[in-house]
Structure formats: C-alpha cells, structure tokens
Amino acid sequence: MAAAAVAAVGYYRCAVRPMGRSTGASATAAAAYRAGERIYDERTGLTHDYQKRTGVKATELIAPAEVTWISERSQLWNAAEQAERKSNARIAREVIACFPHQLSEEEQRRTARELGQWLAKEYNVAVDIAWHEPDKKGDQRNHHAHLLFTTRTVTAEGLGKKTRILDDKVTGPQEVTKIRERWALILNAGLERSGLEIRVNHRSYKDQGLDIKPGIHMGRQATNLERQGMFTEVGELNREIQADNDNIVDLTQQIAALKRQLAAEQEAVQREDVRSVMATSKEMAQQTYRDRTRTAVERQLKGMGAERYDIGILQPPDANGRRRMLRRFWTAEQLLVRDPLTQDVPKLSWLKNQNRNGADIYVRPDPRDGRNSGLILIDDLEGIGWEKRLAADGLKPAVVTLTSDGNNQAWVRVSEQPLNAETATEVARLLAERYGGDPASADFMHYGRLAGFTNQKPQHIRKDGQQPFVLLEKYNGRLAEQGAAIVQQAEAQVAANRKALARLDRAGAIVVPEEAPSERASQLRDWFERQWPEFAERYGNDESRVDFRMCQAAQRRGHTDLDVAWALRYGSPNLEARKAGHVEDYCDRTVRKARLWLESQRTASEDTGAAARRAAGKGQAVPADKSERSQQPIANEDQRDLIEQMLHWQRIAETERDRLRPRSASQDDLTDWGLSQTTLQVLQTYDGHQAEQERERRIDAALNADSQNEDTPLKTYRTGLKERLLQKGRGYYRYADRWLAERLAKRGYTRLQARRAIAQASPELMEETPMRRVSFIRRIVDRVYKRYEQHQTRVQVKKRLPSDKAAAKPAPVRSPSTEQRSTPKTPIDRPEAPPKAQGPPSERQNTKAQFGKYSAFEVRHDLARGYQPRYRPSFDEGNANITLDNPNHGEVGIAELDGDLVAVLKQAARQSDNSRFKLKQAHRMRHDQDAEHSDFWEKRGGYYGSAKREYAKELSRQAEVKGEEAVLSPETDADIAVRLRIAGYSWNSINKAVAEHSPVAAALPTPEHQAKYLEMLVIPTLKAPGVRQAKEAKCLVPRCEGMDQR
C-alpha cells in the first residue's frame, strides 16, 4: 500500500436508516425538522413547527416524471402517514450523505440531487432533500444533506406497494451497499470535476485491504462533552486509534521506501553497478532508521509533557566493569532540531551513535530543582493484567513503552503541579507495590528508557543475535483521574513516616550480640530458617526483600527489635556471603526500616483518629471504643461528611496492601480439590510464555469438545465455552467463567466440582499470576453459587406470593368479636408455642434468656399460622394517613406477627451486627457516598433496583429522625412497605427490597426464616383495606424522600 493512497482518501459517510413508529418516529415531524418548515399532521392532529431553526441551506422534492400530485411537502408526508395502519410500521427511510469539506457548495447541491434522482428512479419513490450547514458550535467541516424518501412506491394516483426489497433480511443489506457505492461514484465524479486529487471509497478499510483501523462514531452526547473540554471513553479510543493509524502510515511509508530501495538495487544489479547498490542501500537504511527513531522520540516526549528533559547515556562497562552515566539537559525542541543544510538531527544522530556503541539511552523529566514534575515511573511491569487494573483504578498511564519481550515501563501523570521528593517517592512506591512494579526503581527521579533505541542488556538478546528496540505503545499524555487521590494518600503516609522516624532516632542503633538475648530469640531464629523458603517463593527470591518482610512479620507478633535483629543475623541463609563486610549494619538498617513501616502505620491511625475526634465538634466527648463511637449519632451533616472523608484513606491504608498482595497457592488446598499432579504444576508454576501456551491449549480443547456429551462438570464447562467462542469469537474467553460457573450450578454440580472444572479448563485463569489463581477460582465460584442459592430462595418465596390482580380484591376485615372467638390451631406433631409474657414490657422476662437466641422465633415461625392477627393497618380518610402503631401497647402485633414475635424480632435485630451493617449501607446509599453500590443498582436495577434504593433512603431518613434503635423493628418494614405500595411499586419489587435491605430480616438465622418473616409481614400488610384505599386516594400519605409517584 503506497503512502499516497492513504493520503488521497477523503472523508466519506453515507448512513441509511429506517424510521418506524415503534421508536416514536413521525414522518411529518422528521420532514418539518429537516426542511425547517411548519407541517400539520392530519393523522395525530399535531403541528410540527420548525420555521425558526437555522442551518437549512436549501430543500427540494424529487419524484418520478409521471407523478404530478406531489406539490407540497406536507401533502407527501401526510399521505405517507395515512397509508400505514400498524403501530409499528416503517413510515420513511433516510440517507445521510456527508460531503468532503473541500467540495464547493455548487457541487454539494449537484451531487446530492443526483443521488436523489437515482433513488427515485431505482426504487420508484419520492425523495425529500435538505442541505444543512455545519452547526455553529460543532465541526465547521460538517456539510451534509438529508435525503428522506418514502417506504412505498409513488404512482400517478398516490402511494403504492411497499418497497420490500429494502426490508428483506437478505436483499436489504445488499441494497444498502448499492446505495453507498452509488454515493461514492457520484461524489468522486464531483471531486474530479472540481479538480481535487482526493477520492472516497464506500468500502471498509478491511475490504480495501488496508491495515488502518476504523474510528468509532462519537455520537451527539460524546461530541458535546468533548467540545466542552471533557474527556470521554469514545474520544480516548478514537485518539488511540488515530495514534495507531499514524504509526501504520509511518510504517507504510517505510515499507514503500524499502520497496523503492529494492527496486533500485535490482536495477543497479542489472547494470552491474555494485558500488551504486551499496551506496543506495546504506542511504535508504539510514533514512528509514532515522525516521522511525525520530518519530518515536518525538511522540514519547510529547506524551511525557515536561518542559525540559534529563537524557542519560549509560556507557558500556570499562576495564574494571564500571559503567559511567553521561547526562544531557535538553528541551524537546533542542533534541529534535534539524540542520537546515543537511536536514539531519545532530543530537539524535549522536545518541544513535552512542547506542550503536553499546550505550543505553534513558530519559526523565529534569530533576535538578529537587522536585518531581508530577510524572511517576512504574518499572518492570510484566504480564497483561496491569494495564487494565491501572485503567480501572483511574490511573491510566500517560506513556507506555515496551522495553523487552513481556516487560513494560509506564509513566503515570498524577499531578499537573510539581511534587516534592518525599511525596513523589511515596507515590512511586505505592504504584509499584499495587501493580507489580520494581520497588527498587520507586523514587522521584528514576530514569526510564527512551523509545527508538535498543536495549543493550545481554539477557535481552534476540534469537537472531540483535538487541531489541524499545517500542512506544501509548502516549496519550493525560492526567490520571485518581492522581490527586493517590497523591493525598502519599502525603499522609509521608507525614506518618516522619513521626515514626523521629521515634526511632531516639531509640539508637541496634547492636547484635553473639549469644541469644532471650529464649524467644532462639525460637524466632528457628522460625526464620523454616519460613524463609516460603517467603522467598512469595516475594520472588529477592533476599533483601524477604529479610525485610520476615522482620515485619516478627515485629507484628510482638518480638523486640533486638530479638529480631539476632534472628535475622543467624537465621537468614548465606547472610555472611551476601552482605560481606557490613552484616551488622545490614541487620540494624533492615530491622529499623521494618519498625519504621509499622510505626508509620500506627502513627497514621492515631492521627486519623485524633482528627476525627477534633472534627466531631467542640465540647463533645468522643468515645475511645470503636463500637461506642460507631453508635454515637452525629447531629451535624457536615461533620459526618468530614469524618467519613478523613477516615476513607485510613481504611485504604489498612486494607489495600493485604488485599492486593499475591497469595501463594497452598499445596494442601489444591490437593483437597482432587486435581492431578500435572494440573497442580500448571497452576503453581506456569507463567509468561508457558501460561500463554497453556491458555491456547485450553481454548483448542474447548473448541474440539463434543457438544453432545455433558456427563461430567469438565465436559459441561468446555461445551459451554465452545458455544461462547463459536458465537462471539476466539478472543471472548474472558469473563466467561462467571456464567459458566452459573451453568454448572444450574446443572446441580457442587462448588468443589465447579472449582475443579475451572482449574482444569479455564483459559482466563492462565492470565492470572500463579499466586492469584486459587483466590481467582474461589472468588468466581463462591460468588456465583451464593447468588444462585439466594435466587433459588427468592423463587420459592415468589411462588407463594399472590399477583397484583389477585391482591386487588379487598381482604375481609374480622370484627373484634370474631377475633376474640377464634382460637389458635396447633398443627399436628408440632410443639406448642411458649406462653406469652404478661404485663408491661418493663416487667416481662428476657426473651433471649428464656428461649435462647432465635429459638422463640423458630418456635413461633412454625406455629404462626395458628395466631389470629390482632392488628392491621388502617386508613383515616380525614387525616389521609396510614396508622401502623398503637401507642397504648408496649409490644403490639402487626400483620400475622403477634406481640411476642415482634418483641423477639426487635431483640434479635438490636443484637445483630448484620442489622447495623444494613443501616450503615442505607446511610451511604442515601448520601451518595457508596457510589459503587449506587452505580450497581443503576445498571442492574431498573424497576426492582428503584424500589430497593427508595427503601434504603427511607430507612436512613427514619433512623436519623427516630434513632437507630427505634427503626430496628418489624413496624418500620411494614411502614416503608406501605409507602412503597402507595407510590406505585409492585408486590414483588417491595418484597425484594425488604428481603435485601431490612435490618430485621438480616438478623434472622437462615433464608427459610427470612422467607417466613416476609410471608407473615409484607403480604398481609399490603393486603389490608387501608393500604388499598390510600393507594386509590392517589398517594395522600407524604412521600418518601426522593420517591417517585408512579
């Protein structure tokens, strides 16, 4: 593909789309809007007036020659509307034809008119053309025309038959391709008449045989956001595609140059001019090399976006094995400036000469002012998952380079402002620890490799004997979305480190004695010798890092620094050989460094707690106990927000390292799964190239599986994976394990069988590191099976729920005399209910002590149908309110729950941690602090999710008004359920909301108890005549906060 062919391609767009009533479209409205006119719709009686709109340059109606009845636009499109009777009929079709901006307005009119005439003749239809100008706030090159044509043929008498050839599934796409091809031919003829060299092509890049990637259509909303300076995901993808296309064009030009070189060589050989051949080859090769290097350097420096750069040239080893670093400080313009006479780049040529002589070329932002420019390097990133995790955490890199096979460097811009050395180093350490980078390279001024030059390390020599080039993969240069957050976390850690270091300086140096200072020190040395191999496997056989982690573990267990230093001195293997000459100093520095880390964590915790207590308000005593502090209400909303914000990063500091640290695969754990030795070896050792080969082998095994045989979990898994790959493609094995695990659950296989099948056959599993594979399998299987079991429980409950139609019939109200005459019926072979407590609540016996935790509920759960409900909700038409409680009773019954059951449920809820968790979750959902949970229900929710959100918000509101203890009762569930019903939610959605967010339901011991609780409370409450009367009165009860009236 020649470079000129790419450069000569002009902008082309021709979209063909139908308009149907099923989507709410109207032919009269569409015609009025595109033409900027006023049209009265005779079918609906609506008037569509767009006479004030701007941007319409011209309009025109085109019809076959024999059709004379079409004189006005409103006449044509009213006839089209009245010709269709179905509610989902297609009433019009539209072609959007865009013009290259170089085309004159006269040619734009002519080409669109020719296309309209061709459509009218080809399909015997009427065509309505409107030429539009670019939007004032949009791209001023967007000249286009709308061609609206009928879906029926036009005759001298009126509209005729449907043009089914455009609706057919087989012929429809072919006709669309024909229209697009015709527009390309018409447009190219207009370009040729205008004397323009560009041409358009209706075919895709793939069909044309080009390697250029197609862009993604932005759409109206994304385009508006981009114009306002906001970055969108589609815009980022398009910019990455454009960058890749630039690389493709450069490579294409180089290929063309090489082809010209080859042709010149062949011609020179034919003339037997060997000297000319050698000169031509050398010149073309240098030109090609120079262009690629200059392009890569220019793009990397553009992505890094610094004012000045420190270019490091690490010289090859001298006679003593030492390597010297040469440093040059240049701006991007100084480095890439061309010689006006030779058109060469002198500084770049000098760097290339140094690189050819064995030097490595590095780059970093100029650090001479002692600060970091806000750009952090993560070195030695291996595998394929780190980039996805960075993007998911809002830390998308500004520059990514491939330094060798499977090894990357990433520059992340965390701040637009310079950072001090301590903060930048801490940010680099956090990023390296979270995403698997090299901790030794985590500092504020570390060098990264410069793209376009070779990596001179001997271990990276390729099979052909050549050194690999450092390749530039991405260079968007964007500021990371969560950059400010991680800088804030690093600043807090730096402050804690300073305080901890001050404590250690007062303690003095550690002198390691020859004899064991205590019996615990001897035991600790034995522990060092036993556990050192396991720590070495976990932390990559880095001896110094293993020593540091083991010292941390020992200090967490309460050992003194002297005992830890002695155990390190005599328990770490080969320490004398590894640290010859400074063993004592190494032990002192390692133990003090480990103690510094622990002290900094404790200091950060103390500072955060003190800040929280200060923010709670002057004169308010803050309990030291965590449980008391969590139960104390905070009256000021701003204080709660401040405390939550201050505690946020402390929670991350306490949990992030343990969550992200790779866990080693336990041999005993995997052996219990019944896996073969071959599979165990694959899971525990395969990494890098071996893991990729195993992944491809598992994909091939799934594609070759017998679809008719699913008698084992392994065959069922592979059959399901085969269906997915055949349907979507070979690359869609990712994220398949979740629904394949659900498939195994539905077939009745156990969790252990599902784990074994995923371990033996999952391709996605091989993309995890060996230390994460066991946790990956457990996480997938446990979540899927837990969700499936909960779904089965909900299905069983739903089978017992009456439909809304059946519930519309009012339930009979028992008179007091009937209720007094009725007596409880005890089922056969069931124990009788415990005697009800008499007297006021203060004199009743402790239900928990009398019956045991939950036992009273378990007894009454089986006998509840024998109790007649003594109380139901009532509706007061005068006050337009729902009455759910009787203040004259201490513990009243509600629905089918009697007073004793209500008391037991209240006591259980107030003693349960699950109930407290549900209340906190409701507060977070109401105040939009749990964004992840809110987004989950926005995506999943729809109708059911809306009811759950409204339940949680109302629960939070009542807890703040009445107090948390007061809302831990069945009366609260009944009250919110009634409010949801009045607001228009269905029985099923209310039942789901109470089941998932009720603090009382969360306190019950089993799903069966929860289902019975819902059956006895929610359904009878919603059946009450008062609820129906209130619903028919159109929600006279005050609305819940934010609740929609449906």
Q: What is the pLDDT of residues 873-884, one digit of tens each?
A: 444 444 344 343
What is the rounded average pLDDT of the residues 195-205? 86
In angstroms, the Cα distances linking 386 to 256, 295, 464, 767 are 36, 26, 30, 11
What is the rounded average pLDDT of the residues 967-975? 87
Q: Which strand (E) or helix (H) includes residue 690?
A: helix 689-703
Q: How confident is the model at residue 950, as a pLDDT?
A: 86
Domain 3-193 sits in CATH 3.40.50.720? no
In angstroms, the Cα distances linking 723 to 179, 475, 766 are 36, 38, 20
Q: How confident is the model at residue 327, as a pLDDT?
A: 86
Q: How confident is the model at residue 847, as a pLDDT?
A: 34
Greater pLDDT, 908 or 753 = 753
Percent of the chain having pLDDT more than 70? 74
What is the rounded average pLDDT of the residues 916-941? 63
Q: Where do the CATH 1.10.1240.50 domains begin and end in the chain?
A: 487-615, 836-1032
Q: How confident is the model at residue 614, as a pLDDT?
A: 53
Instruction: Output the six-digit token pair for 31.
Output: 């015609």
> Cα–Cα distance between 242 and 248 in angstroms, integer?
10
pLDDT of 538 strictly over 90: no
For residues 19, 23, 29, 32, the Cα torsion angle rounded to the nearest 10 degrees is: -50
| Contact partners, residue 477, CB within 8 Å, separation at least 6 | 302, 303, 304, 305, 398, 399, 413
Q: Rounded to an integer, what is the distance from CA 605 to the centroid of its chain?
A: 30
∠ CA(322), CA(328), CA(330), 5° rounding? 160
Give the HSE-up count for residue 592: Cα atoms under 13 Å, Cβ half-sphere.
Answer: 18
Greater pLDDT, 746 or 285 = 746
* Contact by Cβ (8 Å): 97, 147: yes
Greater pLDDT, 342 or 625 = 342
Q: How confident is the model at residue 125, as a pLDDT?
A: 94
Q: How confident is the model at residue 725, as a pLDDT?
A: 84
Q: Rounded to an integer, what is the distance from CA 990 to the centroid of its chain?
A: 29
Per DSSP, the three-state class of 736 is coil
In angstroms, the Cα distances linking 190 to 22, 155, 194, 196 are 38, 31, 6, 9
Q: How confident is the model at residue 893, as a pLDDT?
A: 67
Return the amino acid letter for 567. Answer: A
pLDDT of 813 strictly over 60: no
Sign of CA dihedral 578, 581, 583, 589: negative
836-1032: which CATH topology? 1.10.1240
Identify the band that residue 580 occupies on the pLDDT scale cut at 50, 70 and 90: confident
Q: How confident is the model at residue 1015, as a pLDDT?
A: 81
Q: How confident is the model at residue 400, as a pLDDT?
A: 92
> Cα–Cα distance between 144 and 730 in angstroms, integer?
39
Q: What is the DSSP string of 243-302?
A: HHHHHHHHHHHHHHHHHHHHHHHHHHHHTT-HHHHHHHHHHHHHHHHHHHHHHHHHHHHH
Poorest-pLDDT segment among 270-284, 390-404, 591-605, 665-679: 270-284
Q: What is the DSSP string of 1004-1025?
A: SSSHHHHHHHHHHHHHHHHHSH
pLDDT of 641 strictly over 60: no
Q: Which residue has the tokens 């071996």?
A: 690
Return the amino acid letter for 874. Answer: S
Which one-letter DSSP state was computed for residue 565? H
Poorest-pLDDT segment among 144-158, 426-440, 637-651: 637-651
Structure confidence by residue, pLDDT tens digits, 338-363: 887 777 888 888 898 889 888 999 99
Greater pLDDT, 669 or 812 = 669
> Cα–Cα distance between 445 and 94 in angstroms, integer?
58
What is the rounded average pLDDT of the residues 315-341? 84
pLDDT of 117 strictly over 90: yes
Poorest-pLDDT segment among 409-413, 931-935, 1009-1013: 931-935
Identify the band that residue 229 occupies on the pLDDT scale cut at 50, 70 and 90: low
Q: What is the 3-state secondary structure (H, E, C) of 134-183?
A: CCCCCCCCCCEEEEEECCEEECCCCEEEECHHHCCCCHHHHHHHHHHHHH
Poorest-pLDDT segment among 128-132, 191-195, 259-263, 846-850: 846-850
| Contact partners, residue 138, CB within 8 Å, separation at least 6 | 223, 227
Identify the band that residue 281 occupies on the pLDDT scale cut at 50, 70 and 90: low
Give the HSE-up count for residue 413: Cα atoms under 13 Å, Cβ half-sphere.
Answer: 19
Q: How confident is the model at residue 682, as a pLDDT?
A: 82
> Cα–Cα distance between 469 and 458 in angstroms, integer?
13
In angstroms, the Cα distances linking 1043 to 147, 601, 755, 980 are 45, 43, 43, 8
Domain 487-615 sits in CATH 1.20.140.10? no
Q: How confident is the model at residue 104, as a pLDDT?
A: 92
* Contact by Cβ (8 Å): 733, 761: no
Q: Where do the CATH 3.30.930.30 domains begin and end in the chain?
A: 3-193
**CB environment 232-263: b (16+ within 10 A), e (fewer):** bebbeebeeeebebebbbeebbbeebeeebee
Q: How confident is the model at residue 833, as a pLDDT?
A: 37
* Contact by Cβ (8 Å): 617, 639: yes
Per DSSP, the three-state class of 410 is strand
Identify the band that residue 659 occupies on the pLDDT scale cut at 50, 70 and 90: very low
Greater pLDDT, 1019 or 426 = 426
Which CATH number is 274-481 given?
A: 3.30.70.1790
pLDDT of 909 strictly over 70: yes
Identify the band that residue 188 occupies on the pLDDT scale cut at 50, 70 and 90: very high
Q: How confident is the model at residue 996, as a pLDDT?
A: 85
Return the amino acid letter for 828. Answer: I
Q: What is the chain's mean pLDDT, rounded?
A: 76
Q: How confident is the model at residue 209, as a pLDDT?
A: 72
pLDDT of 1046 strictly over 60: no
> Cα–Cα distance between 97 and 998 in angstroms, integer?
57
Identify the band that residue 95 occupies on the pLDDT scale cut at 50, 70 and 90: very high
> Cα–Cα distance between 925 and 953 in angstroms, integer?
7
Identify the band that residue 500 occupies on the pLDDT scale cut at 50, 70 and 90: low
Q: Where do the CATH 3.30.70.1790 domains begin and end in the chain?
A: 274-481
What is the rounded average pLDDT of the residues 630-644? 38
Q: Which residue has the tokens 């415990």?
A: 834
Q: Rounded to an integer, what is the distance from CA 212 to the centroid of its chain?
A: 28
Q: How confident is the model at residue 504, as a pLDDT?
A: 56
